[in-house]
A and B are shown apart, each in its own frame.
Chain A
Amino acid sequence: MNKYAERLYNGIVKENPTFILMLGMCPTLAVTTSAFNGLGMGLSTMVVLVVSNLLISALRNIIPDKVRIPAYIVVVASLVTIVQLLIQAYIPVLYDALGLYIPLIVVNCIILGRAEAYASKNSPGLSVFDGLGMGFGFSIALTCIGFFRELIGAGTLLSGTPFAMSLPEAYEPVSIFVLAPGAFLVLALIIAFLNAMNIQHNGNKKVEGCDGNCASCGQSQGCTDAKN
């Protein structure tokens, strides 16, 4: 596998930011009330992630080491503001649904984490692919959680898109799934399911990743040091 494809595989499967690394939990749980919202959040984050990886990688020899974190934050915050204004102008439905969580992409630990752990050490080309891989991994995870929550909690499929469908009238939606507790429940069950698959696959080998104990989430040091 060439190293560009390897970055994609790494982001989507091996180090999936949501299911394996447990990064960026806030948007993951907050906006996934439907598959459409999850996908919108995932793609917005991906755009920011790819461009910030590109810029930070290109600037990696210019930014002094001591002030690198503030510099990264300014780059990310500017990109997020641009994305926020674009969504507000062109996809107002999504803007209303995501609300506060669009500006909060700034503090999504995935973005600062990748900047610190990958983009600041590698070439712009590889960094873009790293961003793409992580972004896809994040989008897939969010869409997946949103899909289940929407299906069980509202009895609809892919509402908000041209492919909208709904379950038969006889189905009584379990509305707790689109409310706050449902988010925790669905994520817990998905991770437990993946763990169970993993255990079956690898015997009793412990699941990799930081186990949800990323005390320094977003600070990125803790997670990335443990990983490297």
Chain B
Amino acid sequence: MKELILILISAALVNNVVLSQFLGLCPFLGVSKQVKTAASMGMAVIFVITISSAVASLIYDFILVKLKLEYLQTIVFILVIAALVQLVEMFLKKTSPGLYQALGVYLPLITTNCAVLGVVLQNVQKEYLFAQRGWNALASSVMNGFGTAVGFTIAIVIMAGIRERIAYNDIPKPFQGAPIVLLTACLMAIAFFGFSGLI
């Protein structure tokens, strides 16, 4: 249990997916103009990454490793993620139209969010493998995925909050648009450095 909590904190804060690993930057820069949309994006990412960590781990452990096809992991994982996003979308549309409405266009966009593929590949790299550690490995994978997605949500919501405020500021012309957003991200990354002593 203690190990799982450590994984969660490390994935969410210490190794924040956006600010220290540079994954999922496109939605982080693109969908962070308003807190509300940023929060929906975060929810959608939590949903998809948690499920895909579980599914991809199972497929890796019970199909790819068994057949000695580990080198096909990239191709298999990206297809699994793409199919999964579609499935989640259809499932939500039928079962909870409210949530589906809230997540809206952000669900399909997640297919190409590199954070999803990144987490799944990381789970393999960190050797959360069934062969070595049994069901614990699966729990670790899911926890790592969930923590990463929570970290993404924290980062994007804070970013959106800041951007809502700087929208009315007088920014020097050359810094308008992308540069000021990147500078904000830079300051946030420095702030998140503070978490590095946590574990």
Contacts and interface: CB of A to CB of B under 8 A. Distances in A.
Are A and B co-members of a single complex?
A: yes
Interface of A: 22, 25-27, 29-30, 70, 73-74, 77-78, 80-81, 84-85, 100, 103-104, 106-109, 112, 176, 179-185, 187-189, 191-193, 195-196, 199, 204, 207, 211-219
13 contacts: A25-B22, A25-B29, A73-B79, A74-B75, A77-B74, A78-B75, A104-B117, A181-B187, A181-B193, A185-B183, A192-B175, A213-B29, A218-B111
Contact of A207 (B33, B75, B82, B177): B177
A217 B26 contact: yes
Contacts of B64: none
A216 B24 CA distance: 12
B78 interface: yes
Interface stretch (B87-95, B118-126, B131-139, B145-153): B118-126
A184 B71 contact: no
B98 interface: no
B181 A212 contact: yes
B24 to A, nearest CB: 7
Contacts of B178: 22, 188, 191, 211-212
Contacts of B181: 212
A180 B193 CA distance: 9
> For chain B, what secondary structure do more than half of its interface residues adopt (helix, strand, loop), or is it mixed?
helix
Interface residues of B, number: 49
Contacts of B30: 212-217
B114 A215 contact: no
Contacts of B161: none
A182 B187 CA distance: 10
Contacts of A176: 190
A219 B121 contact: no
A212 to B, nearest CB: 3
B63 interface: no
Nearest to B189: A181
Nearest to A191: B179
A81 B190 contact: no
